Amino acid sequence: MITIGKPEVIFLEDKARLQAKLDFDGQLKLVWFEVDKKYAEYLCYERSDAYVIGVLNYAMRNGHDITCKSPIGEDLYYQITTYLIDAVFKGSKKLYKTKIIAEVDNSKLKSANAVGTGISCGIDSFHAISTHTNSKYKNHNVTHLAFNNVGSHGEGEKAIILYEARKKLAIKFANEYQYELVESNSNIYDEIPQSHFMTHTYTSTFAIYALQKLFSTYYYASGRKFLDFSLIDTYNKDCSYYDLLLSSVFSTSWLKLYSEGATLSRLEKTKKVSQYKPSYNYLNVCTQTITNCNKCDKCIRTLLALEAIGKLEDYKTVFDIEYYKNNKQEYYKELVYQTLRKNVNYVEIYPLLKSQIGFSAKINGIVKSIIIVFIPARLKLLLKKMYHLLIKR
């Protein structure tokens, strides 16, 4: 059983902190979410909403029910218990069908009616920002950017360094283009260890609901297309496969969440972002270092995509374009390899660069695929046969 204590707001110098004690079968943990004190009035201490969302996936993975000492908003409680839990539970035999025990609050909270989206300076992030800036839909234009620390930066000392460096980039961008930036920090990822890729929509929505009196609309940049929607194997799959369901369930009559950009492929989003000039100096996709390293998966696929659409030179400020040009066949080898693996982010790029890929890159990509994918699969099959012959005969 996970018991969520009553959330409260406390002040620490220039910060305001929403915190609650969580009891995990007798093990107490204090989970907090912190913002500048000027946002204190928007922290939602009246309800357990944020904490229920933040721990729900963990509870289903670890066999816990949830009890709340503060109420849950009626829409949210109804949608989670009626639709979400049952749908996700049926997607995997490894998950537990969590029960939530709480009072229901059907009152409407006051809202500042801010329109928000996260800022990571990646492709998804810039697509959300560029699409909802100066658009004809006045009530849908972004007013606030959110920079949250709820797991995307990793863990340990490296995560702290990445968080601080990326925060500086977000602050610089927000100041230059006159957005209000809401910086937050939280220990939820430290106190409730979870795979970020399996739970990021839940933890990011925890941050949104911690400030639910600020936002009336929020664009959560989706990493998957609607066409990829799936509730099969929800235990092992990235939760973005069912973001369409999550954005629906986590939307209420006073707070609307959108799975932003989910009608487009990665390449289509990259094309749109490449028309947004601020991205030329701020695009940051790297998962490994503070600046784009040119070598991690996200850097490689972004560089290939930018070349494929003829926009490589526009990003010379944020990527080492000369390094890319001097090692182009190595990048193409990875393109061949990932295409053979049917990695959708590379498959859509391959036809645009196919004519430029040298024979050596093609052969090396094929060989890499055989070594990494085919041989282990064959070896696994051989060992399985040996096991049945020698052990289970």
- Name every residue whose Cβ is closer than 8 Å to that of residue 301 and which is 6 or more positions away in sequence: 266, 338, 345, 346, 349
* The pair of three-digit structure tokens given for residue 245, joined into one six-digit string: 């369901």
Q: In angstroms, rounded to a whole number, what is the distance separating the alpha carbons of residues 282 and 172? A: 9
Over 60: is that where the pLDDT of 390 sits?
Answer: no
Q: In angstroms, rounded to a whole number, what is the distance separating the alpha carbons of residues 195 and 154? A: 10
> What are the CA-CA distances from residue 200 to residues 189, 207, 251 (Å)?
10, 11, 17
Q: In angstroms, rounded to a whole number, what is the distance separating the alpha carbons of residues 242 and 222? A: 10
The residue whose two tokens read 């490994």 is 288
Q: How many percent of the chain have pLDDT more than 90?
A: 74
Helix (H, G, I), strand (E, B) or coil at 147: strand
Cα angle: 360, vertex 287, 200; to 5 degrees: 125
> What are the CA-CA distances from residue 189 to residues 53, 152, 175, 199, 345 (Å)?
13, 9, 28, 10, 28
Q: In angstroms, rounded to a whole number, what is the distance separating the alpha carbons of residues 85 and 82? A: 7
Report pLDDT digits (tens) over 170-216. Answer: 999 999 999 999 999 999 988 888 887 788 999 999 999 999 999 99
Q: In angstroms, rounded to a whole number, what is the distance separating the alpha carbons of residues 374 and 341? A: 10
- Name every residue whose Cβ is closer than 8 Å to that of residue 122 and which is 6 or more positions away in sequence: 221, 283, 284, 285, 298
Over 70: is that where the pLDDT of 373 sits?
Answer: no
pTM, full prediction: 0.88
Q: In angstroms, rounded to a whole number, what is the distance separating the alpha carbons of residues 227 and 245? A: 13
Q: Which of 124, 347, 97, 101 is nearest to 234 (CA)?
A: 97
Contact 18, 173 (CB under 8 A): no
Over 80: is that where the pLDDT of 157 sits?
Answer: no
- What average pLDDT does the segment 135-159 reach? 81
Q: In angstroms, rounded to a whole number, what is the distance separating the alpha carbons of residues 129 and 46? A: 31
Q: Please provide the average confidence, as pLDDT, over all residues in the chain.
A: 90
- What average pLDDT does the segment 329-334 reach? 92
How high is the pLDDT of residue 159?
65
How high is the pLDDT of residue 375?
58
The residue whose two tokens read 């409407």 is 108
Contact 65, 59 (CB under 8 A): yes
DSSP 48: S
How high is the pLDDT of residue 154?
57
How high is the pLDDT of residue 364?
77
DSSP 285: -
Report pLDDT digits (tens) over 44-99. Answer: 999 999 999 999 999 999 999 999 999 999 999 999 999 999 999 999 999 999 99
> What are the CA-CA distances from residue 222 to residues 26, 51, 105, 122, 250 (Å)?
36, 22, 30, 12, 14
Over 70: is that where the pLDDT of 391 sits?
Answer: no
Domain extent listing, the chain: 2-260
DSSP 6: P
* 134: β partners: none
Contact 130, 273 (CB under 8 A): yes
Q: Which helix (H) or strand (E) holds 20?
A: strand 15-24
